[in-house]
């Protein structure tokens, strides 16, 4: 797994720390979403928005708090800028394609076409390329370090949840608690009926599933009831993230 703190530290040498942290955090969220096949989150859009802020900072030493992402990327290559052609033309086109897909495929809001896992795979692959290129440009004076970081960014994602239509299977072996939290992370922020949880965790005894739901509820990792189902709390969400990132 990528050492996000190290990546933030390296990028912060040339970028404001908040931008370095934002772009790494959103990339890691995309990675986790792909690992758990979780669709319809806004992290792809947030990632590209931060990319625009990074480009603005590299160009002029400042950035907009709320940039007009599509307009900036559309017009960047035709305007004079203190950026290499790799960033001004190539990266801007890749970023705009990703942002367009995010807008048109219900990734963050209601769109024309329902999202699919291959949309998320594309968005993650493009984010890998974008982040790798930014690392190459920002760390141009230390290409050995840049190369090592890029190798880590390019590590393939191992899926943790596989969707079989009526059933989701957590592929990573572990405790019943980790399986439940990973499963609910996949569905987040939706409530999941106990009947569906039992289907998804059918390799475990019903009593085990019932006990782990009760335990997670007692620990405040999940909220809900037998009628409407259960979902992760903020505490449970962070617990699931730690398990997924381990």
Q: What is the pTM of this model?
A: 0.71
Domain residue spans of the chain: 4-153, 161-245
So what's the pLDDT on residue 157? 77
- CATH number of 161-245: 1.10.10.10, 2.60.120.200, 1.10.1040.10, 3.40.50.170? 1.10.10.10
- Write the DSSP symbol of residue 113: S
Q: What are the mean pLDDT values of the chain's consecutive 10-residue runs (246 residues total)?
A: 76 93 91 79 82 95 94 90 92 92 58 66 92 90 84 81 86 89 88 95 96 96 94 92 73
Supply the DSSP string of 68-87, one letter for each residue: -HHHHHHHHTTS--SS-HII
124 C-beta neighbours (distance < 10 Å), count:
21
* CA–CA distance, 228 with 87 (Å, rounded to integer): 48
Q: Which two tokens stand for residue 178?
A: 């980790």
Cα 243 to the center of its chain, rounded Å: 15
């Amino acid at each position: 797994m990528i050492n996000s703190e190290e990546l933030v530290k390296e990028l912060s040498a040339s970028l404001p720390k908040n931008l370095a942290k934002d772009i790494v955090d959103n990339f890691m969220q995309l990675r986790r979403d792909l690992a758990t096949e979780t669709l319809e989150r806004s992290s792809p859009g947030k990632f590209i928005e931060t990319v625009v802020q990074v480009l603005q900072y590299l160009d002029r030493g400042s950035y907009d708090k709320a940039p007009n992402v599509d307009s900036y990327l559309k017009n960047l290559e035709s305007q004079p800028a203190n950026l290499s052609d790799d960033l001004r033309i190539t990266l801007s086109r890749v970023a705009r394609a990703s942002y367009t897909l995010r807008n048109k495929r219900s990734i963050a809001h209601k769109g024309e076409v329902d999202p699919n896992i291959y949309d998320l795979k594309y968005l993650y692959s493009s984010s890998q390329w974008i982040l790798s290129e930014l690392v190459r440009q920002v760390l141009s004076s230390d290409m050995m370090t840049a190369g090592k970081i890029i190798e880590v960014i390019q590590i393939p994602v191992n899926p943790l949840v596989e969707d079989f239509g009526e059933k989701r299977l957590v592929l990573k072996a572990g405790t019943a608690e980790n399986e439940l939290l990973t499963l609910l992370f996949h569905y987040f922020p939706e409530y999941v009926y106990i009947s569906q949880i039992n289907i998804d965790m059918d390799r475990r005894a019903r009593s085990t599933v019932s006990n782990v739901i009760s335990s997670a509820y007692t620990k405040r990792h999940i909220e809900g009831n037998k009628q409407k189902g259960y979902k992760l709390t903020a505490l449970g969400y962070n617990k699931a993230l730690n398990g997924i990132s381990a």
